[in-house]
Chains A and B, each alone.
Chain A
Amino acid sequence: MKVINFYKNSKLNYKSYFIRLISLVIILVHCSTPPLANSEEPNLIIKRKSVIEEALNKTIPVIELMDSSKSEIAEWQEIFLNDARMKEYFFAYPNDQKMLNEIFSVSLARTSDIPSGLTQCANGNCIRIEMYNYARNISIIGLVSKSEKKLLHLASYKETQPDLPPHLVQLANYIARHDTSVIHAYGENYNTQEPLMSGTKTALNRTKCQRSKHLCVSPTFIKGSKALWVIVDLTDLNVAGVRWTDVGETGMAVTQRSAQNDKIMECFCDKLTSVDKEGWKFTYSMTRSDGLMISDISYKGVKYFNQVKLVDWHVSYSKVEGFGYSDAIGCPEFSTAAVLAIEPPYFEAIVQNNDTTGFLIGQSYYSEGWPTPCNYNYHQYFEFYKDGRFRPVMGSIGRGCGNNGMYRPVTRISIAGTNTNLLEYKNGSWNKWTKEKWALQSESDIYDKDHQWFKIERSGETPIAILANTGQMRDQGRGDHAYVYATKRHLDLDEGESDLPTIGPCCNQDYHQGPEKFINDESIENSEIVFWYVAQIENDDTKGKEYCWAESILKNGVYVPVIYPCYSGPMFKPL
C-alpha cells in the first residue's frame, strides 16, 4: 500500500496580472518591513502540524479561532460547534473518522448576511461564524443568536473557501518563502521580498486548486516587471505550483490547473528532449494521444528501437457486456487524451539489492476526480539498465468503474533495423515468424532460459531476447497474459508512427485490440518490424489483494489516495 500525493506542481513562465497592481506593488514593496532571516523564524509548518494533531485529538475536530481580547468569541464558537447539525462535518461516513475543520472568522452578522425572515438577527443580535472543512472542501456558515445563545441558521457551500484568518496568511507566506522551488525560481534575494496579495483567498484572486480540491492561496512576489505566483496548498502545507507572469498584462489568473497544464504544454507537448545517460541515448516527448514517447533509442552506439509508445488503454467490465472505455493518454490541452499528463516526466534511479542498476523515465496520467469511481490514473515508465536491458512498463492505478475490470494497455514498439527477424520459442525450439501475425501468452507456455519468449535477430547486431512477464519483474506485477503482434513497418504508410487515434474499442475480449488492423499476411522476414504488446490485467478490490485499485482514506483529517498499482510489460535483453 502506498499513500501518494499527485498534486505537486512546478514553476513556469506565464503572462497575466492587472495593470493596477503595478502601483500597489510599488507602494507595498516600498513600505513593507523586510522579513526576518530564515534562521530566526519559527518553523510554522511544524507548529501548524501540532495544532492539527491537537485538534484531531479533541472530541470535536476543529481548530478554533483564538482571540484573547474577546472572551465571548470562545462562547459563540462553543454554541456553534455543539449544535447537533454540525456533527456531519466532524465525522465521516461510515466509520465516524474525524475530519479536520477550522473556524476562519467570528464576526457580527451584517444585514446582508442575514436570510430574509430571520427576524431574531435584527439589531446586531447575531454572530456569523465561518468554518472550513478541509476534508470535503466546503465552507460552513452559521448564525448564532447572542440573546438566545443558539445556532439559528446553518448553510454549507461546496468547493468554496472562506476568507483566510491572519495566521493562515502568515503560514502561506512562510511556506512560499521557504519552498525550494520558489527560491530556485526567484533567485537571489528571494527572502527580502514580502509577498503581496497573500491574504486574498484564491477565489478572489481568481486562483484555485481545482484538481486537489484543497485550500489554496497565492502569495505573489514581484521582481522587476515580473510577478512570481506561488500557489500554496494550505491543506497539504506545501507549494502546489509556481509561475512567472508579466506584471501589467491582463490575463487569466494562475491556478493549479493552469500552472500544471502550461508546464506540460510549453515544455513537453510535442517538444523533443534528448537524453544521454549511462550508455543510453534517446529523445522523449509528450504526445497528444500516445503518452510519453521515446525515440531513437540506442545503447552504447547501437540503435535498438525507432520509437516506443503507449497508444491506448482499453478497459472493459465483465458484469455489463460492452461496457468500458478506450482511453488515450497525453497532453492536457489540445489533444485527444482522456486521461491527462498533469505533471512533468521524471527520472529515477533503479536500485536493486542496494545497487543502482539503471534509471527510468516515468510519467503519470490523471483524470479529473480520481480516485473517485469511474475516474482513472495511469502510470508508464521506461527502464534503462546499465547492462543493456530495456523495459517499457505500463501501470494502472485504478480506480475505474468497478471491481471486475480488465485493463489492456496497447504498446507499440518499432524495432530499429531494416534487416530484422523475429523468432518465437515454442515447443522447445526457436521458430521464425515469416509473416505478420499475433500470439497469446499462455500459462502453459514454456520459455527458453530466463523467460525468453521471443528473439529479435538483426543483421550484424547482438540478438535481443524479449522476456515474458509472468510476474517475475521487480514491480510486483502478477503477469501479463499478453497478446503480441508483429507487423511490417512501412515508411510510406502511417501505421502508428505519428499520433494514433484510438486504435480499438474498449471491450473486445480476444486479439481484436487494434494492432490486428495492420496484419495482412505480409512477409516480415529480413524487414523492419513493429512489435505490439497488449497486456491483460484484471483488477481486484479484495482486501489485502487489491490490484489496479485506489481508494481515499482519511489521514490527519483530510482525504488522501491509497494506491494499489498493477504494472505490466516485457523485458528486452541483449544476448
Chain B
Amino acid sequence: MHIKLLAQLDQCKGVPQYMMRMGFNPQQSFLSSSEKFIMGLVLLQTEQSGNPNSRVVKRIQKESWKNKGYLGAISTDEKGNSYVLPTANVNMLYNKPEFQNSIYKLDSETGELELFINLPTSILPGAKNPFGLLGSFYDCSSRNLIVSSVAGSDEKNEIGKVYAVDVIRKTYKILIEDKDIYGLAIQNIQGKKYLFLSSARTGDLFSIELDQQLNPKGKLKRELSIQGLGPRGDDRIRKIRFNSNGQMQLFTAMFYFNLTAPSEVQKGTMLYQWNSVKKQWFLVKEE
C-alpha cells in the first residue's frame, strides 16, 4: 500500500443552496449536530472562514431540524445535500428505536430535513444497545453514502453492518456483515479503492479493497490499534479522514454502547503516517 498517491473520496462537498437563502455565508458556515443543550441540527456562521472554532456570529435551527431527536454524523454530497444520521444522547426520549437506523436528508434546495431511507434491521435498538447508525462517508466517485450500523448488537452478539446507499437511486447494499463498525473512509490508493473502517468494540482499524461497484475484495485487514494510546487508552475510532499529506487522522472517543455523557468531552485526535519501508502505520501525533 502506498499512501502517497491517495485521494480521499469525499472531497466534493457542494454548497447548500439554502444557506445563502437563509442569509448565511457558506464560506463561514457549517452544520452541527453536537451543540450543547440543542437537540437536532443547527446551522452556524463563525467569524472566520474555515475555522469552526472561531466565534459564532449567527445560528439558526429550522423546525424540521429539531424534531428528529438527537442527530450524529453528517455527510454532504456534490449538490450540497447533507445526509444526517440519528444518535442517542443521555436517554432515548427523543429518539425512537425504529428510527435509529434511518438516514435523514437535508435537501440543498429546500433546506428541509426529511427521512431519506430506513435501513432494515432484524433487531431494533433497545435496552441492550440504543444505537443504530454510527458512521458515514460520502463517496463522490460512486455517489454512494457508506454508513455503518450496530443495530441489534449486544455484548455477546456482533451483528453490525456496513451499507452502501446509492443516493441517486435510493437503494442500498450490504458491504460488510457481523462487524460493529464506527468510523469509515474510502481512499483511492494507486488506482485502487480501499475502505478503511474502525471497530466500535475495540481500538482496531481495518481496511478492505473495494471494486468499482463497491463490492469488497478479500477479507478485512487489521491496520493498527489505538489500544493503550491517549489519556484513556480505551477510546474507539469514531471518524477516519486523510489529509493532503497522506496522513491519516483518527478522531477518537470513549464508547461503550451506553448513554453516559460526561460533561468533559472524552475525545481525542491521532495522526498516523504510512511507513512504506516497514509497510505499517506509525503514530505521528496525539492530542
Chain B residues positioned under 8 Å from A287 (CB to CB): 127
Task: Evaluate contact between A206 and B231: CB separation under 8 angstroms.
Answer: no
Within 8 A of B (CB), among A240-278: 252-253, 255, 257-258, 261, 265
Shortest distance in angstroms between B114's beta carbon and chain A's nearest beta carbon? 25
CB contacts between A and B, total, < 8 Å: 120
**Within the complex, which residue of A253, A375, A499 is in contact with B227, where a contact is CB–CB below 8 Å?**
A253
B262 on interface, CB distance cutoff 8 Å: yes
Task: Evaluate contact between A206 and B228: CB separation under 8 angstroms.
Answer: yes
**Contact A334-B260, Cβ < 8 Å, known A368-B266, A501-B127:** no
Task: Evaluate contact between B91 and A252: CB separation under 8 angstroms.
Answer: no
Task: Evaluate contact between B234 and A258: CB separation under 8 angstroms.
Answer: yes
| CB-nearest residue of chain B to A252 | B227
Within 8 A of B (CB), among A334-368: 334-340, 367-368
**Contact A502-B231, Cβ < 8 Å, known A333-B258, A338-B259, A368-B262:** no
A424 on interface, CB distance cutoff 8 Å: no
**Contact A505-B93, Cβ < 8 Å, known A369-B263, A372-B263:** yes
Shortest distance in angstroms between B16's beta carbon and chain A's nearest beta carbon? 30
Chain A residues positioned under 8 Å from B264 (CB to CB): 368-369, 372
The CA of A334 and the CA of B128, in the complex, are separated in Å by 5
Bitwise, B197-237 to A at CB < 8 A (1) or not (0) is 00000110000000000000000000000011001111000
The CA of A207 and the CA of B227, in the complex, are separated in Å by 9
**Contact A499-B92, Cβ < 8 Å, known A265-B155, A368-B260:** no
Task: Evaluate contact between A333 and B256: CB separation under 8 angstroms.
Answer: yes
Chain A residues positioned under 8 Å from B203 (CB to CB): 252
Instruction: Name which of A2-10, A294-302, A324-332, A436-444 contacts chain B.
Output: A324-332
Task: Evaluate contact between A336 and B227: CB separation under 8 angstroms.
Answer: no
Task: Evaluate contact between A328 and B91: CB separation under 8 angstroms.
Answer: yes
B257 on interface, CB distance cutoff 8 Å: yes
Within 8 A of A (CB), among B243-265: 254, 256-264
Shortest distance in angstroms between B59's beta carbon and chain A's nearest beta carbon? 18
Residues of B within 8 A of A (CB-CB), count: 32
Task: Evaluate contact between A374 and B92: CB separation under 8 angstroms.
Answer: no
Task: Evaluate contact between A159 and B93: CB separation under 8 angstroms.
Answer: no
Chain B residues positioned under 8 Å from A401 (CB to CB): 263
Task: Evaluate contact between B91 and A327: CB separation under 8 angstroms.
Answer: yes
**Contact A334-B262, Cβ < 8 Å, known A288-B128, A327-B90, A368-B254:** no
B154 on interface, CB distance cutoff 8 Å: yes
Chain A residues positioned under 8 Å from B91 (CB to CB): 325-328, 336, 338, 501-502
**Contact A337-B128, Cβ < 8 Å, known A207-B233, A210-B232, A255-B234:** no
**Within the complex, which residue of B126, B128, B257, B259 is in contact with A328, where a contact is CB–CB below 8 Å?**
B259
Shortest distance in angstroms between B173's beta carbon and chain A's nearest beta carbon? 28
| CB-nearest residue of chain B to A373 | B263
Task: Evaluate contact between A253 and B228: CB separation under 8 angstroms.
Answer: yes
- Of the listed residues A208, A258, A325, A373, the one surrounded by the most CB atoms of chain B closer than 10 A to its CB is A208
Shortest distance in angstroms between A329's beta carbon and chain B's nearest beta carbon? 10
| CB-nearest residue of chain B to A328 | B91
The CA of A374 and the CA of B262, in the complex, are separated in Å by 8
The CA of A87 and the CA of B264, in the complex, are separated in Å by 26
The CA of A288 and the CA of B260, in the complex, are separated in Å by 12
Shortest distance in angstroms between A52's beta carbon and chain B's nearest beta carbon? 25
Chain B residues positioned under 8 Å from A333 (CB to CB): 155, 256-258
Bitwise, B37-64 to A at CB < 8 A (1) or not (0) is 1000000000000000000000000000
Chain A residues positioned under 8 Å from B126 (CB to CB): 336, 499, 501
The CA of A501 and the CA of B92, in the complex, are separated in Å by 7
B72 on interface, CB distance cutoff 8 Å: no
Bitwise, A468-481 to B at CB < 8 A (1) or not (0) is 00000000000000
The CA of A342 and the CA of B231, in the complex, are separated in Å by 20
| CB-nearest residue of chain B to A504 | B93
**Within the complex, which residue of A323, A335, A339 is in contact with B257, where a contact is CB–CB below 8 Å?**
A335
The CA of A265 and the CA of B88, in the complex, are separated in Å by 21
**Within the complex, which residue of A160, A206, A258, A502 is in contact with B93, where a contact is CB–CB below 8 Å?**
A502
**Contact A253-B231, Cβ < 8 Å, known A338-B91, A375-B263:** no
Chain A residues positioned under 8 Å from B259 (CB to CB): 328, 335-338
Task: Evaluate contact between B263 and A334: CB separation under 8 angstroms.
Answer: no
B130 on interface, CB distance cutoff 8 Å: yes
Task: Evaluate contact between A206 and B227: CB separation under 8 angstroms.
Answer: yes
**Within the complex, which residue of B90, B127, B130, B228 is in contact with A203, where a contact is CB–CB below 8 Å?**
B228
Shortest distance in angstroms between A267's beta carbon and chain B's nearest beta carbon? 13
**Contact A210-B127, Cβ < 8 Å, known A333-B258, A334-B155:** no
Chain A residues positioned under 8 Å from B262 (CB to CB): 367-369, 375
A289 on interface, CB distance cutoff 8 Å: yes
The CA of A512 and the CA of B252, in the complex, are separated in Å by 39
The CA of A227 and the CA of B26, in the complex, are separated in Å by 57
Within 8 A of A (CB), among B134-182: 154-155
Shortest distance in angstroms between B80's beta carbon and chain A's nearest beta carbon? 33
Shortest distance in angstroms between A337's beta carbon and chain B's nearest beta carbon? 6
**Within the complex, which residue of B88, B127, B231, B257 is in contact with A160, where a contact is CB–CB below 8 Å?**
B231
Q: A334-B128, A338-B258 are in contact. List 10 more A-B contacts (CB 8 A).
A: A253-B233, A325-B90, A335-B258, A336-B92, A336-B127, A338-B90, A338-B91, A369-B264, A499-B127, A502-B93
- Pairs A-B, 7 closest by C-beta atoms: A206-B228, A374-B263, A159-B231, A502-B91, A368-B262, A499-B127, A288-B127
